[in-house]
Amino acid sequence: MDVTPLPVVGAPCGIVLAAGAGTRYGGPKALAADADGTPWLDRAVALLAASGCDPVLVTVGAAAAEVARRIPAPGRAVLVPDWNDGLSASVRSALDAAAATGAELAVIVPVDTPTLPAAAVARVLGAAAEAAASALVQATVAGAPSHPVLIGRDHWAEVAATVAGDRGAGPYLAVHGATFVACDDLWDGRDIDERPAP
C-alpha cells in the first residue's frame, strides 16, 4: 500500500536545483557536504520543508542514480534528461513536475547555497502572499539578484518555454516586473562554485 503523504493543500512547492556536473567545483554539488559532513542536499531539502514547502522536488542529472539515492525525505527526485544543456534544463524539468502538483507557488533554491537561511525563504514567501499564482519574487543581496526565487503558477509554462542555456529565470523575472526583496541582513548571498583550499 502506498503511504506517501499527500502534499499539503495550498502549500508552496519547493525546488532544489541539483542536476549540474559542478565542473568548476570538481564534481556534482549535489554530492557535496559541509566541513562537518552535512550534505548540502540535506540542508536544502530540510530548509524548504521547514519553510512549509510540500512537495520538495530535487532535480537530478549528473550522477543521477547516486544523487537520487541520497535525497532525504521528504524530497523527491525529478530526472533532468538534458541536464548537460545547463541550468535552464533543470528549471524546465522542475516546473513541469511542479505543474503536476496542487501548488500555486514554487520556491527555487540551488543546492550550492548551504548557508541560505530559512528567514530568507520566509521573507520571499511573505512578499508573495497576496499575489499567489501571479507572484514573481526574488531575494537580493547588496542590490544584486540572489536566492531564493519564487515563481507563481501563472508563469511556470512561460518560464519553462523561455529559459535557455546555463541561465535560469533571472531574465524573465527582470522583464516581468518581479518584486525584489532585500535580504542583506540575513545572509551574504554566496553560492559556492569552487572547493575551499585544503
* Angle of helix 153-162 versus helix 87-98 axis, rounded to 10: 150
pLDDT tens by residue, 91-131: 999 999 999 999 999 999 999 999 999 999 999 999 997 77
pTM more than 0.75: yes
The grid coordinates of residue 150 equal 519564487
Pick the closest to residue 85 from 19, 160, 169 (CA basis).
19
pLDDT tens by residue, 133-181: 999 999 999 999 999 999 999 999 999 999 999 999 999 999 999 999 9
Is residue 96 a contact partner of residue 61, using CB atoms and an 8 Å limit?
Answer: no
Is 197 strand, coil or helix? coil
Is residue 132 a contact partner of residue 146, using CB atoms and an 8 Å limit?
Answer: no
d(CA 162, CA 70): 31
Going by the DSSP 8-state scheme, the letter that residue 102 receives in this structure is S
* 197 — pLDDT class (breaks 50, 70, 90): low
d(CA 173, CA 13): 18
